[in-house]
Amino acid sequence: MIRLIVLDLDQTVMGSDLTISPRVKTAIRQAQARGIVLTLATGREAQLAARFARELSITAPIICAQGGCIYDPQTNQVLHEVRLPRAVLPVVIASATRHGWNIHFETADRLYFPPESRHPEAIFELLRYSNWARVGDLLQDMPEEPHKFIVTLDRLEDRERVLREMRESLGGQVTAVPSHPHLIEGVPAGVNKAHGLAWLGRHLGIGREEALAIGDSESDIPMLEWAGIGVAMGNSSPAVKAVADWVAPTLAEDGAAVAIERFAHRRE
Contacts of 242 (CB under 8 A, 6+ apart): none
What's the whole-number mean pLDDT along residues 255-263? 97
What's the whole-number mean pLDDT along residues 169-178? 90
For 232, counting Cβ atoms within 10 Å of its Cβ (0-12 exposed, 13-18 middle, 19+ buried), the class is: buried
Per residue in 209-234, pLDDT tens?
Answer: 999 999 999 999 999 999 999 999 99
**Contact of 215 with 235, CB cutoff 8 Å:** no
What's the whole-number mean pLDDT along residues 145-159? 93
More confident residue, 181 or 77: 77
Can you spell out the DSSP letters for 22-82? HHHHHHHHHHHHTT-EEEEB-SS-HHHHHHHHHHTT--S-EEEGGGTEEEETTTTEEEEE-
**Contact of 21 with 260, CB cutoff 8 Å:** no
244 pLDDT band, cuts 50/70/90, is: very high
pLDDT for 267: 52
Give percent of the chain with pLDDT exceeding 70: 99
For residue 2, is pLDDT > 90? yes
123 pLDDT band, cuts 50/70/90, is: confident
Residues in a beta bridge with 180: 183
What's the whole-number mean pLDDT along residues 25-31? 97
